[in-house]
Structure 1
Amino acid sequence: MKYQSFNEEIIRLVGGKENIQAVVHCMTRLRFTLKDRTKANTEELKALDGVIDVVSNNVAYQVIIGTHVSEVHAELISMLGLTPSSDEESKIKEKKNPLKAAMDLLSETMTPVIEPIIASGLLAGFLSLFSITGLISVDSPTYQLLDSIRSAVFFFLPIFIAMSCAKRLKASPYLAVALAVTLVSSSINDVSGLSIFGIQLPQIVYANSFIPIILAVWFMGQLTVLLKKYVPKFLQYFLNPLLIMVICLPVTLLIFGPIGIWIGDGIGWFFEVLHNTFGSWIVVMLYAAFQPFLIMLGAGNFMMPLALNFVNKMGYDPIFLAAATISDLAVSGAMLGYFLRAKDSKQKQLFGTVSFSALMGVTEPAIYGAFIKFRRPFIAVMIGGGLGGLFAGLTNVKTYSIVWGLMGLPSYADNQDFSNLVFMIISVVIGFVTATISAYLLGIPQDEKETQTKDLSKETVPEKNSQLKKVPLNSVVEGNVVPLAEINDQAFSTGALGKGIGIVPTDAQIVAPVSGEVSAVFPTKHAIGIKTEQGIEVLIHIGIDTVELDGRHFDTIVEQGAMIERGQLLSTVDFAEIQKEGYDPTVIIVVTNTTDYLDVIPAAKESVFTDDECLTVIL
C-alpha cells in the first residue's frame, strides 16, 4: 500500500481507530468525524510530511492532503476496516454546541450589516470633529440632515438584521423584513397599553435592538419548514405567507420581545459585575491581544452584538470597539515591523500593503496573508495590543459610536469628552509602536521550503530565446473577483493549496479555463481537476463546503479522463438554490502545483467574463 505508513501516522495523530466515527474526503482533504477532538494532536499532524494543513471547525475535522486525497482515502478506509459504501452510509454530522452555534449565527449575521454600521459610525465621528472645530453647528440643518443617516441606521437595525439572517434560518427575507418593519412601526415600538387576544403586552423598544428579531426569524424559519410539510402545495403560495405573519407577530410580541430584552439586560448585568469585581480593563486588554485569533477562527464579528447592546443600554461601549481598534492598529504595527525588517522586495510589498490595510481597519489580508504563515506576528500583537488595551481599560476609554479603526478616532471626543479622545490616542500609539518594535525584534522566520522553491525557480528560468514563457488561464465563470486571502475557507485563503482567485458567480455556467485533460471529477460534482499539456494542475472548487450538498444543484457534464478545450462547458450550477441552503457560492480556481513554476499571478480585475484572463502561470 503506497500510503500505509502515512495513514498509520494520521490514524495515530487523530486519536487512534477507536476515536474515528467516520471519514470521507473532498477534492483536497480528509474529513473526519471524531468522537473526541481533544484526543487529536493537531500541531503534530500539521507538521507531518504530506499534510498541507489541518482545519477544525463545526463542519468536520479536516486534514488537507492535496488532489491525491482519493488515493489516500481508499487505503485509509481499508486500514480502518471500512468500505467506501459503508463509510458513506455511516457518515455522521457532528452536533453543534448550542452556544457555539448561536455565536456563529451572530457573527455571520453581523458581517453583511457592518457596511452601513461603519458608514454611520464614521459619519458620527466626523460630525463630532466638525462640531468641535466649529465648522458645523450641532443645531444647523446640515448637521441634522447628515446625522439622520446615523440615527436611521440604528433605529432600523432590526430590518438589516432580519434581511441578513433570514436565509441562514430558512426564512423568507421579505417576510422577515415585513415582520421587522411591523415591530419598529409607531403602532408597536415603545407603545404602552398594547394587548393581543386579551393579553397585556409589555412596553418594549424594538428599534435599535437585534436579539428579538433574530429569535423571531428563527421561529419563522421553523414555521416555514413546518407549513411546507403540511399545507397542500396548491395552497402554499397564497396561504403560507399569511399564516407565517399572523402567527409570528403575536409569538414575537408575547415571547421573543421580552426574552430579547432579558438577554440584553443579562449581558449588561454580567459585564457590570465583571467591571465592579475585576475592572473592565482585563476584558479590554485580552480582546485587544487576541482579536486576530478570533478573526482567524471566523468569529471576528461576535463582539458586534455585545457592543450594540452596550451602546443601546449605556450610550457607549466601554470594552469591545476600543479594543478592536487598538488590536487593528497593533496588527498594522506588526506588519510595519516586518516591512522594516524584510530585505526581499516581494515581501516588502506584501507587508507594506497589508499594514496599510490594517491601518484602515481591514486586518484579514494581514492575518491570512502573513500571520498564519510566519506566526510570530501573533506574539507581537499580543504584546502591543495587550499593553494598549490595558491602558485603555485602566483609563476607562468609552466608544460613543459603533465605529472602529483609525478613521473613527474623532468619535471618542463626542459629548465634549476630550480626555477620552486623548486616552484613546495614547492607547492606539502604545499598541502600534509596541507591536512594530516587537515584530521587528522577533524577526521573520526562514522558510526552508520557500528557499528551496526559490533555488529551484532560479534553475528553471526559461532562456530569453524560449518561446513559451507563460500560460494564461481564463475565468471559469462570469462574476465578481474575490482575492484568495478573503475567501472564507482557510485551506484556500492561506494559499496552502496554491495560488489562485475566487469569483462570486453571476452566471450558472462553469467552463474550462484552459485546454487539457480532466484529471478528476469529484462524485459530488462540486470540484473538477484539469491538467494541461505543460503539467499545470488546475482545481476548480464550486462553492464552499458544498460537498455536503451531495451533488444537489450541480449538473456536471464532463467525466474524468476527457480531453477538453478552453471555454468548453463543464457544469451548470443552480447557485440560487445553493445560497438558499446557506452555502457560500464563491467559485475558486487555484493552481495546485504552484511551487513548480516561477509564479502564478492573479489578474487585477474587479469582475470577469469567461473569455477574460484571470490567472497567468509563469513557466
Structure 2
Amino acid sequence: MNTPTPEGLAEKILRGVGGPENIESLTHCATRLRFQLHDGAKADQAALDALDGVMGTVPQSGDRFQIVIGGAVAGVYSNIMNLPSMSGGGTPRPQSDAEVKAEIRAKGRGRFAWLDNFFEYLSDSFRPLLGVLLGASLIIAIASMLDAFGVVDFRAADKSATWVFVDSMWRSVLYFLPIMVAYNAAKKLKIDPWVGATVMAAVMTPNFTGMIGSKTPGVTTTTNATLGTSESVAHVFGLPMQLNDYGGQVFVPLLMVALLALVYKGLKRIFPENVQMVFVPFFSMLIMIPLTAFLIGPMGIWAGNGLGTGLSWLNGNAPIVFAIVIPLLYPFLVPLGLHWPLNALMLVNINTLGYDFIQGPMGAWNFACFGATAGVLLLSIRHRERDMRQTATGALAAGLLGGISEPSLYGIHLRFKRIYPRMLVGCLVGGLIVGILGGVDTKAFAFTSVLTIPVFDPMIKYIVAISAAFFTSMALVYFADYRTKEERAQVNAERDAAEAADDKAPAPAPAPAETVPADDRELVTVGATAAADTDASAAAGPAPVATAGTDAPTATGTGKALELAAPVAGRVVGLGEVEDPVFASRALGEGVGIEPADGHVVAPVDGELITVAETGHAFGIRTTDGIEVLVHIGIDTVKMRGQGFDVRVEAGRKVTVGDLLAEVDLGAVRAAGYSTVTLMTVLNTASLTSVEPHTGRDVAVGAPVVTVRR
C-alpha cells in the first residue's frame, strides 16, 4: 500500500470533509483534527477512514467532525492550512433568518446531543492543557526519582531554595489550574476568555487567600477538635463568606463559567455594540466575582469533596472492587472523551486529601493498553506488516513515554475487535493486583507512563500491577492475533504479492543530465540530484532546453519539459534552506525559494490564475496541461492582512510569463518581522515525472529556475 505524501493526505482529507467551502473552522488537539463543518452530512466518513495516515473518524452533533491522526496531527494540520484553498482558514458565511432557525433546531438533533455538548465542554476546558500537565508530571517524576535515590528529600519541610524553586516549576500548573480551566471554558462557550480567567483569579489573589486563618477584622476562624481542621468565614457587606484556597480546584471554574456565559451574553443583548467593550466585562466582573466567592466557590468545593469522598469510601470499604472497576471503566470512557471528570477528581483529591487513589488503578488500564499495542507490534514484525509496524511503534512510544493512550486506541485497538477483550483481561489482572496488595496512591497528578513510575507509592506494588497488566495483554494479543485466521491469510498473501512485485520491478534509470542557462553569463549543469536542493556544477553535453513558459523536447527526446521562470529577481535557494517547515518538508511540492532583490512579482508560467489570496501574499496558477504552480511571497505574511501588498490581478484571469502579479513593499514586510523570501513550488509534484530546482545563483526576473517533466 502506498503511503500518501503530506500534500496528498491534506488534499484527500479536505475533499473528504466536503471541500474548503464546507469548513467553518479547523483546530487540532494532541491527536485529532477538529472540524466545524457547515454540513456534517457532506463528510465522507468511509473514504476518510480508508486513508493511510488516518487512524479513525468521530462524527459529532452540531456538524462537528473529528479525524484522528495521532502524533503527526500538528504537521497534517499545517499542511491543510497551507493549501492555497485554505488561505482564509475556513469559509464562515452569513446566514439567512431561515438558516439561523434551522441551525437552532439542528442543535437538538440526535438523542444525546446535550450529553455530547456537556462532555465537549469538559474536554475542551482541559484538552489545551495537555502539554503543560504532561510537562509538570515529568518534572515531578524527575524530582521523585532523585528523592528515591536519596539525592534530595522531596517532601522535607526545610528544603533549600533550589528545591523550593523546582517545586514551583510544577506547582505553577496545578495551583493556577483553575484560572487556565476558566480561560478555556469561557473560550469554549464563546465569551471573552480573559473575563473568565479574571473572575477565577479574583478569589486566588494573595489578598483573598491571606484572610484564611488571619486576624483580619471581620474574619472568624473555628477549629474542629475532632478532625483537626479549621474553617474561616469573612463577613463581607454584612454577609458571611466561606473562605477557601481555590488552588488546584477544577469544579469551581467549570460551574462559574457556565453561569458567566449566561450573564455575559445577556449583557451583550442589553448594551449597544459601541459600549460593550467597557460595560460588558465590567458588569460581568461586578456580578460574577461576588457570586463565585459567596456561592459558586463553596458549592464547587462541596461537590468535588462529595464525589471524592464517595470514591474514597468505595476505595476504603471495597478496595478490590474499586481497583477493578477503574481500569475496566477507562477503556470505554477515553474513546468517548468521558474520562475528564475522573481526571478532575484526581486533582480534587490531591488538593483536599494530599494524595490521589484513582491514578494507581488507572495505571493498570494504561499499561494494559500499551501491552496490547506491544503485542500488535511484535506481530507486525513477525508478519512483515510495514504500515502496522510504523503505527504501533509510534503509538507505543507515545504511551510508554508520554502516558497518552489515544494513538493506540484510535490507531489500532478500535479498528480490530479482537484486541479489546484481550486488553480488558490485562486491565482486570492489573486492577486485581492493585486491590489485593492494598491500593496504590500518589501525591502528584501524573500521566501514567514509564517515566512517572517513581511518583506512585508503594512503587514496587505499582510496578508489579502495571507489569502484569502490560504482559498479560501483550501475550494474549500476540498468541491469539488481532486478525482472524482468514484475515491473516489474506493480508499475508497480499504482502507476499507486493514483495514479489517489488523484487521484479526494474531499478529506475538515472535522469539524463542537461545544461540550463543560469542567467546571461553562465551555464549550470542539472542532473538527477537537482531536486535535493544541491547546486549541480558538473559539465554535461549540450541538450535542447525550453525557454521560460514554453514546451521543448527533453534531452532524451521522449516527453516534454517546462521551464518555470523566476517570479522575482534575486538569489535562488533550495526549499530546505527556508525557515518554513511546511515548504521545507515539500508538503506543498518541490520548488525553490528566492531572496528578492525588489518587490516586483511576475507570473512564472503561462496559465490561469486559480487562486489569488485577498492578502496578496499567494498566487496559484494552472497551466493548460495541468501543472499547478504556487507563488508565495514571504513567510507568515498572511498575518499582514494585505498591508504592503499591491495586487494587480484577479482570480480567473489568463496570464503569460512576465505579467505583473503584485508590487510588494519589502521594507514593510521586514519591518513587520517577516521573512521576504519568495517561494515557488509545483503543488502536484507527486503526479509528475520530475521537478528539478536550479539553486545557488543570482537570477534576473524571468530566468528559468525550475524544470518540470510530466
Gaps (5+ residues) in structure 2? 1-16, 23-36, 68-96, 214-231, 513-526, 534-573, 590-603, 613-618, 630-648, 663-682, 690-707
Q: Please, which of 196, 208, 211 is the counterpart of residue 251 of structure 2?
A: 211
- Counterparts of 1:112-191 in structure 2, within 5 Å, are 112-137=128-153, 138=156, 139-141=158-160, 142-189=162-209, 190=212
Distance 1:226 1:439, change over 3 A: same
1:234-253 per-residue CA deviation (whole Å, 9 max, x = no partner) reads 43333333222211111112
CA drift of 1:328 comes to 5.4
Q: Residue 133 of structure 1 aligns to which amino acid in structure 2?
A: F
CA drift of 1:300 comes to 5.7
* Cα contact 2:582–2:588 (8 A) shared by 1: no
Does structure 1 residue 398 correspond to structure 2 residue 405? no
Q: Percent identity?
A: 23
Q: Partner of 1:251: helix, strand, or coil? A: helix
CA drift of 1:384 comes to 2.8
| Aligned mates of 1:380, 1:229 — CA distance in 2 | 55
CA drift of 1:62 comes to 7.0
| Aligned mates of 1:532, 1:399 — CA distance in 2 | 64
| Aligned mates of 1:478, 1:564 — CA distance in 2 | 30
- Counterparts of 1:550-561 in structure 2, within 5 Å, are none
Q: Partner of 1:279: helix, strand, or coil? A: helix
Paired position in structure 2 for 1:200: 240
**More displaced stretch, 234-243 vs 55-64:** 55-64
Q: Residue 452 of structure 2 aligns to which amino acid in structure 1?
A: G
Distance 1:146 1:279, change over 3 A: same
Distance 1:273 1:410, change over 3 A: closer
Q: TM-score, normalised by structure 2?
A: 0.54
**More displaced stretch, 250-259 vs 316-325:** 316-325
CA drift of 1:183 comes to 0.7
**More displaced stretch, 428-437 vs 457-466:** 457-466
Paired position in structure 1 for 2:423: 381
Paired position in structure 2 for 1:226: 266
Paired position in structure 1 for 2:81: none
CA drift of 1:367 comes to 3.9
Paired position in structure 2 for 1:12: none
Does structure 1 residue 359 correspond to structure 2 residue 404? no
Higher relative contact order (CA 8 A, sep 6+): 1
Paired position in structure 2 for 1:610: none
| Aligned mates of 1:94, 1:450 — CA distance in 2 | 46
CA drift of 1:431 comes to 2.2
* Cα contact 2:360–2:440 (8 A) shared by 1: no
1:162-203 per-residue CA deviation (whole Å, 9 max, x = no partner) reads 233232123333333322222112333346232344321123
| Count of residues in Structure 1 that have an aligned counterpart in Structure 2 | 483
Does structure 1 residue 256 correspond to structure 2 residue 296? yes
| Aligned mates of 1:411, 1:562 — CA distance in 2 | 66
| Aligned mates of 1:59, 1:618 — CA distance in 2 | 46
* Cα contact 1:331–1:358 (8 A) shared by 2: no
Q: Please, which of 333, 349, 371 is the counterpart of residue 374 of structure 2?
A: 333
Paired position in structure 2 for 1:101: 117
Q: Please, which of 255, 260, 278 is the counterpart of residue 238 of structure 1?
A: 278
* Cα contact 2:373–2:412 (8 A) shared by 1: no
| Aligned mates of 1:453, 1:561 — CA distance in 2 | 46
Paired position in structure 1 for 2:61: 58
Paired position in structure 1 for 2:674: none
Superposed CA RMSD in Å reads 5.7
* Cα contact 1:284–1:392 (8 A) shared by 2: no
Distance 1:86 1:257, change over 3 A: closer
Q: Of the two, which has the highest radius of gyration? A: 2
Paired position in structure 2 for 1:316: 355
* Cα contact 2:323–2:361 (8 A) shared by 1: no
- Counterparts of 1:240-319 in structure 2, within 5 Å, are 240-272=280-312, 274-275=314-315, 276=317, 279-287=321-329, 289-290=331-332, 294-295=334-335, 297-299=336-338, 301-319=340-358
CA drift of 1:280 comes to 0.5
CA drift of 1:261 comes to 1.9
Q: Partner of 2:456: helix, strand, or coil? A: helix
Q: TM-score, normalised by structure 1?
A: 0.60
| Aligned mates of 1:537, 1:376 — CA distance in 2 | 45
Distance 1:355 1:117, change over 3 A: closer
1:365-411 per-residue CA deviation (whole Å, 9 max, x = no partner) reads 44444445556554553333443233224431223210021111111
Distance 1:46 1:242, change over 3 A: closer
* Cα contact 2:377–2:389 (8 A) shared by 1: no
1:309-344 per-residue CA deviation (whole Å, 9 max, x = no partner) reads 222233322224641443454355345434543425
Q: Residue 399 of structure 1 aligns to which amino acid in structure 2?
A: T
| Aligned mates of 1:562, 1:176 — CA distance in 2 | 52
Q: Please, which of 442, 451, 464 is the counterpart of residue 407 of structure 1?
A: 451
* Cα contact 1:400–1:411 (8 A) shared by 2: yes
CA drift of 1:98 comes to 3.8
Distance 1:370 1:449, change over 3 A: farther
CA drift of 1:464 comes to 4.5
Q: Residue 399 of structure 2 aligns to which amino acid in structure 1?
A: A
CA drift of 1:465 comes to 4.7
Distance 1:344 1:118, change over 3 A: closer
Distance 1:530 1:412, change over 3 A: farther
| Aligned mates of 1:222, 1:474 — CA distance in 2 | 50
Paired position in structure 1 for 2:384: 343
Q: Partner of 2:206: helix, strand, or coil? A: coil
Paired position in structure 1 for 2:127: 111
* Cα contact 2:360–2:456 (8 A) shared by 1: no
**More displaced stretch, 380-389 vs 243-252:** 380-389
CA drift of 1:260 comes to 0.9
1:501-556 per-residue CA deviation (whole Å, 9 max, x = no partner) reads 9xxxxxxxxxxxx99989999xxxxxx99989887999xxxxxxxxxxxxxxxxxx
Gaps (5+ residues) in structure 1? 1-23, 35-41, 65-84, 414-419, 485-498, 502-513, 522-527, 539-556, 570-590, 599-616
Distance 1:288 1:223, change over 3 A: closer
Distance 1:43 1:534, change over 3 A: closer
* Cα contact 1:289–1:386 (8 A) shared by 2: no
* Cα contact 2:360–2:462 (8 A) shared by 1: no
Q: Partner of 1:188: helix, strand, or coil? A: helix
CA drift of 1:107 comes to 1.7
Q: Residue 411 of structure 1 aligns to which amino acid in structure 2?
A: V
Distance 1:363 1:474, change over 3 A: farther
Q: Partner of 1:208: helix, strand, or coil? A: coil
CA drift of 1:363 comes to 3.7
* Cα contact 1:54–1:62 (8 A) shared by 2: yes
| Aligned mates of 2:202, 2:388 — CA distance in 1 | 53
Distance 1:88 1:100, change over 3 A: closer
| Aligned mates of 1:364, 1:384 — CA distance in 2 | 18
| Aligned mates of 1:454, 1:535 — CA distance in 2 | 33
Higher helix fraction: Structure 1 or Structure 2?
1
